[in-house]
Amino acid sequence: MFSKACEYGIKAAIFIATKSYEGERVSPKEIAQEIDSPQAFTAKILQALVKNDVVSSVKGAYGGFEIDKSQISSIKLSQIVNAIDGDSIYNGCGLGLHTCDEAHPCPVHDKFKAIRNDLKLMLENTSLEELALNIKSGVSFLKV
């Protein structure tokens, strides 16, 4: 469904959010441990999230990654996915046709339309806040 990079990116953003609630910045090392991902690769993905204004970074001593507490509720899953995988998951053709629309549909166009729209709505309506709060309360998990 998502690329490995995107999976890591989503989990990293959630973890950073949980720590940001407590006013703490985190390092790629700590993130990688908490989400069970390769550290250097995760650091690369964090750069993409920084460029796309999902997380912010502070260089130098006592630096690290954080998310403005007041923004956690307005960041949507779709922003994270878009920053890493683009919008092909819900905008591209299910069978890879270059043009696939009502006028020139691929064989599964109609069948996929509803599912992909549901996926899109879900990503756009799911906030980083609810995902982070569920981690903090122990309702869901970032690894194993």
Per-residue interface string for the shown chain with DNA, residues 54-93, x marking contact by CB under 7 A: ---xxxxxxxxx----------------------------
Give the pair of three-digit tokens for residue 75. 């960041």
- The answer to whether 138 contacts a second copy (rule: CB under 8 A) is no
**Closest residue by Cα to residue 1 from 92, 76, 67:** 92
- The answer to whether 2 contacts a second copy (rule: CB under 8 A) is yes
- The answer to whether 118 contacts a second copy (rule: CB under 8 A) is yes
- The answer to whether 137 contacts a second copy (rule: CB under 8 A) is no
* List 106, 124, 127, 136, residue binding a second copy (CB under 8 A): 106
- The answer to whether 119 contacts a second copy (rule: CB under 8 A) is yes
Nearer to a second copy by Cβ, of 63 and 74: the residue is 74
CA 138 – CA 87 distance, rounded (Å)? 31
Q: Give the burial class of 71: count Cβ atoms within 10 A of its Cβ; 0-12 exposed, 13-18 middle, 19 or more buried.
A: middle
CA 83 – CA 77 distance, rounded (Å)? 10
- The answer to whether 41 contacts DNA (rule: CB under 7 A) is yes
- The answer to whether 38 contacts DNA (rule: CB under 7 A) is yes
Give the pair of three-digit tokens for residue 50. 């920084």
- The answer to whether 83 contacts a second copy (rule: CB under 8 A) is no
3-state secondary structure of 31: helix
Nearer to a second copy by Cβ, of 64 and 128: the residue is 128
- The answer to whether 12 contacts DNA (rule: CB under 7 A) is no
| H-only helix segments in 86-127 | 88-91, 109-125
- Is-contact 108 95, C-beta < 8 A? yes
By the criterion CB under 7 A, which residues form the site for DNA? 3-5, 8, 25-29, 37-41, 43-44, 46-47, 50-51, 57-65
